């Protein structure tokens, strides 16, 4: 859960440090006091977009840090990414006056993408327009699948395989003449190269052999001359070297300084003898072979002729032949309609099998979710109303399955459920969004609402997936989701959020006194002017200060006795001194 949030030079906040605790906490304050600034700061720490506009006027940079309890499920991700694992998870981000951003995770430099990967695993943020996501098919489907614990990856893979098989069959039927002409062309080209049958390393070997055979006489003459100079001539080098060795052999014992010279001469003599032996061996096998030279010439000419025809270096002909054979096999497969039809049938059966599993899980989860949300609606000022998750069939197989997911509602008893956007008012939609949030979280679902305020990139990250498998984010933030709610329903909303606080850490930005009165911790955001600059501050309140804030929410700035009495009643007579919690501004 969220433990601490620290801000420096962020928008209109010079410096602020807040500690948070388990349970249900509320943020209240007059409109424009800066409640949304705290949510924006938290989102920034978790990877949302930021620019130079968040830097307080006159400051070089804005800094936000958020400290969470470390999730055991994230230990592997942190280790793989190279971040230190500790009891806490510290996310820090700065943005300077030029808009340049930097980020850290547990003190080590990180990317914004890595912050976003952690976002969904750490908290869910739901705004006052969260209901809008309930009208989008993709979002409602994600919510239901998450509630059912459905892994749609196998279904998506089966759909792609089915689509590829169908496309291949269609191409074979539409392009049969074109493919046949291409096959004939390839067959003729392959026949040309098959006649040559080029070996993989043959060109290199042929070139070396041709070089040797075409210079055979010059090579023999040179070897004969070298052998004469070393051993067989009138004054051979080997004989002269031996004479030098013999001359020194009689006197070397009288002066040790001649010993190294003696050793050098002896080494030279051994090398000359080796060279003479090698030259004798070479000359013993060297001969002129005009017939073989003619064969090699012809073979090289054949290689060069085909290389020129196909405009390739000669050494590439073996690879060219292999490539053409691969193309020929692919074209053979592309025109084998019987095999393609069988592949499509197999892929279609696999897809239908996965789709049926997903459909069954969705039907089961839809019934449970419909019943639970309907029950929650009865306590949220929608008595007699009914919520239903419907699964309309789609006209053709889709990557997500054989049905879409739609949320419908009947606002009162006896009416037929219809799509949300067509029958529900803004206040009703907010209450429905809250009912779904409460239902999914209390039910241990993997998602809360389908409209997370923090972007997490394309798809679900591994960090997010790990956090979700542990039952969702440990911290839930409701940003004025109770807008449009009032009266007795507000009492119920507050009670529901307090119940949620027993299972998750809940932080709500609210204008409802009934909701604020149910909180375990109450923070008040205020705005003031200091030296011509507007600043925002947050204080944890309790006792008389909390009573005064609840009374303000009930009756406005001018506190009357009735407002104070009403506030005292909402709080159950609790006006004890504020607990000692660290809040510094």
Determine the pLDDT at residue 129.
57
| Sign of the Cα pseudo-torsion (572, 575, 577, 579, in order) | positive
Determine the pLDDT at residue 388.
93
User: Average pLDDT of the chain?
Assistant: 83
- Nearest residue to 89 via CA among 472, 463, 506: 463
Determine the pLDDT at residue 427.
64
Rg of the chain taking only CA atoms, in angstroms = 42
Q: Which two tokens stand for residue 378?
A: 């009865």
Span of 150-154, 291-295, 440-444, 455-459 with lowest mean pLDDT: 455-459
SS3 category, 534: strand
Report, as an integer, the average pLDDT of 289-294.
83
- Going by pLDDT thresholds of 50, 70 and 90, the confidence category of residue 453 is very low
Distance CA 455, CA 445 (A): 20
Answer whether 60's CB lies under 8 Å from 96's CB.
Answer: yes
Determine the pLDDT at residue 449.
38
SS3 category, 528: strand
Answer whether 212's CB lies under 8 Å from 293's CB.
Answer: no
Q: Is the predicted pLDDT of residue 287 greater than 80, yes or no?
A: no
Report, as an integer, the average pLDDT of 154-168.
93
- % residues pLDDT > 70 (the chain): 87
Q: Is the predicted pLDDT of residue 122 greater than 90, yes or no?
A: no
Answer whether 574's CB lies under 8 Å from 562's CB.
Answer: no
Determine the pLDDT at residue 584.
43
3-state secondary structure 98-156: CCCEEEEECCEEECHHHHHHHHHHHEEEEECCHHHHHHCHHHHHHHHHHHHCCCCHHHH
Distance of CA 583 to the CA centre of its chain: 37
Letter string b/e over residues 304-336, b meaning 16 or more CB atoms within 10 A of that residue's CB: eebbeeeeeebbebbebbeebeebbeebeebbe
Determine the pLDDT at residue 63.
95
470-521 pLDDT per residue, tens? 445 678 888 877 776 767 778 888 888 888 888 889 998 888 899 999 999 9
315-329 pLDDT per residue, tens? 989 999 999 988 888
Determine the pLDDT at residue 159.
95
Q: Is the predicted pLDDT of residue 464 greater than 70, yes or no?
A: no
More confident residue, 177 or 572: 572
Q: Is the predicted pLDDT of residue 306 greater than 80, yes or no?
A: yes
- Going by pLDDT thresholds of 50, 70 and 90, the confidence category of residue 132 is low
CA distances from 410 to 148, 385, 434 (A): 24, 5, 17
Q: Is the predicted pLDDT of residue 346 greater than 60, yes or no?
A: yes
- Going by pLDDT thresholds of 50, 70 and 90, the confidence category of residue 533 is confident
Determine the pLDDT at residue 426.
62
Determine the pLDDT at residue 356.
95
Span of 14-18, 348-352, 439-443 with lowest mean pLDDT: 439-443
Tell me which range, 144-148, 359-363, 477-481, 512-516, is most confidently predicted by mean pLDDT: 359-363
Determine the pLDDT at residue 424.
57
Indicate the pTM of the whole model: 0.59
CB-facing half-sphere around the CA of 93: CA atoms within 13 A: 30
Query: Edge-to-edge strand order for the sheet containing 406-410?
Result: 386-390, 406-410, 418-419
Report, as an integer, the average pLDDT of 78-88.
87
Q: Is the predicted pLDDT of residue 284 greater than 90, yes or no?
A: no
**496 burial type by CB count under 10 A (0-12 exposed, 13-18 middle, 19+ buried):** buried
Answer whether 418's CB lies under 8 Å from 409's CB.
Answer: yes
Neighbours of 197 (CB within 10 A): 9
- Nearest residue to 571 via CA among 489, 516, 490, 505: 516
Q: What is 229-253 written as a DSSP string?
A: IIIISSS-HHHHHHHHHHHHHTTGG
- % residues pLDDT > 90 (the chain): 29
Distance CA 439, CA 397 (A): 31
Query: Which long-range contacts link 100-103 to residues 24+ away (Cβ below 8 Å)?
Result: 101/50, 103/47
Determine the pLDDT at residue 207.
87
- Would you mind telling me the total number of residues written for the chain in this entry? 585
| Sign of the Cα pseudo-torsion (505, 509, 513, 515, in order) | negative
Report, as an integer, the average pLDDT of 290-296.
85
- Nearest residue to 168 via CA among 326, 324, 339: 339
Q: Please enumerate in sequence order all residues whose Cβ is within 8 A of that of 329, keeping only pairs 6 or more positions apart, or say none.
A: none
- Going by pLDDT thresholds of 50, 70 and 90, the confidence category of residue 560 is low
Neighbours of 164 (CB within 10 A): 13
**245 burial type by CB count under 10 A (0-12 exposed, 13-18 middle, 19+ buried):** middle
Determine the pLDDT at residue 581.
42
- Report CA dihedral (39, 45, 47, 50) to the nearest 10 degrees: 70
More confident residue, 465 or 244: 244
232-281 pLDDT per residue, tens? 777 788 888 888 998 888 888 888 898 999 999 999 999 999 998 988 88
Determine the pLDDT at residue 472.
58
Distance of CA 365 to the CA centre of its chain: 28
């Amino acid at each position: 859960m969220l433990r601490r949030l620290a801000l420096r030079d962020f928008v209109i906040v010079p410096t602020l440090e807040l500690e948070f605790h388990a349970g249900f906490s509320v943020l209240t304050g007059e409109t424009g006091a800066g409640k949304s600034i705290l949510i924006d700061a938290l989102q920034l720490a978790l990877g949302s977009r930021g620019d130079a506009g968040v830097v307080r006027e006159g400051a070089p940079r804005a800094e936000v840090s958020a400290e969470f309890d470390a999730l055991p499920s994230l230990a592997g991700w942190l280790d793989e990414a190279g971040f230190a694992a500790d009891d806490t998870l510290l996310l820090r981000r700065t943005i300077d006056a030029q808009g340049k951003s930097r980020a850290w995770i547990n003190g080590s430099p990180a990317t914004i993408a890595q912050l976003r990967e952690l976002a969904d695993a750490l908290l869910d943020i739901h705004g006052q327009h969260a209901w809008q996501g309930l009208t989008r098919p993709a979002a409602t489907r994600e919510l239901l699948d998450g509630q059912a614990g459905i892994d749609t990856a196998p279904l998506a893979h089966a759909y792609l395989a089915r689509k590829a098989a169908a496309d291949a069959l269609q191409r074979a039927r539409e392009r049969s003449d074109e493919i046949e002409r291409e096959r004939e062309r390839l067959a003729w080209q392959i026949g040309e190269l098959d006649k040559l049958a080029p070996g993989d390393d043959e060109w290199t070997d042929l070139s070396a052999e041709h070089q040797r055979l075409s210079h055979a006489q010059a090579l023999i003459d040179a070897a004969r001359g070298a052998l004469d100079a070393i051993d067989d001539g009138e004054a051979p080098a080997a004989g002269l070297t031996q004479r030098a060795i013999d001359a020194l052999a009689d006197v070397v014992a009288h002066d040790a300084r001649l010993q190294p010279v003696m050793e050098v001469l002896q080494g030279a003599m051994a090398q000359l003898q080796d060279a003479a032996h090698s030259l004798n061996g070479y000359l013993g096998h060297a001969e002129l072979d005009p017939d073989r030279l003619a064969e090699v010439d012809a073979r090289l000419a054949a290689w060069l002729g085909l290389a020129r025809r196909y405009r390739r270096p000669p050494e590439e002909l073996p690879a060219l032949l292999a490539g053409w054979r691969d193309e020929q096999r692919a074209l053979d497969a592309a025109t084998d309609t019987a095999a393609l039809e069988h592949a499509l049938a197999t892929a279609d059966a696999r897809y239908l099998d996965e789709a049926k599993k997903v459909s069954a899980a969705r039907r089961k989860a839809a019934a449970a979710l419909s019943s639970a949300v309907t029950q929650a609606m009865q306590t949220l000022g929608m008595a007699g109303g009914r919520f239903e998750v419907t699964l309309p069939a789609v006209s053709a197989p889709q990557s997500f399955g054989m049905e879409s997911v739609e949320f419908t509602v009947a606002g009162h008893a006896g009416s037929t459920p219809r799509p949300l956007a067509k029958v529900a008012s803004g206040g009703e939609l907010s209450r429905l969004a809250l009912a779904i949030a409460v239902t999914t979280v209390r039910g241990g679902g993997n998602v809360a609402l389908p409209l997370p305020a923090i972007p997490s990139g394309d798809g679900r990250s591994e960090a997010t997936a790990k956090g979700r498998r542990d039952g969702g984010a440990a911290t839930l933030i409701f940003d004025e989701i109770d807008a449009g709610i009032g009266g007795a329903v507000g009492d119920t909303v507050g009670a529901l959020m307090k119940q949620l606080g027993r299972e998750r850490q809940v932080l709500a930005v609210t204008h409802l006194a009934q909701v604020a009165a149910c909180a375990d911790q109450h923070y008040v955001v205020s705005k003031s002017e200091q030296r011509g600059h507007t600043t925002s501050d947050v204080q944890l309140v309790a006792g008389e200060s909390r009573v005064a804030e609840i009374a303000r929410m009930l009756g406005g700035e001018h506190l009357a006795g009735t407002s104070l009495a009403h506030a005292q009643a909402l709080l159950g007579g609790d006006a004890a001194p504020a607990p000692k919690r660290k809040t510094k501004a």
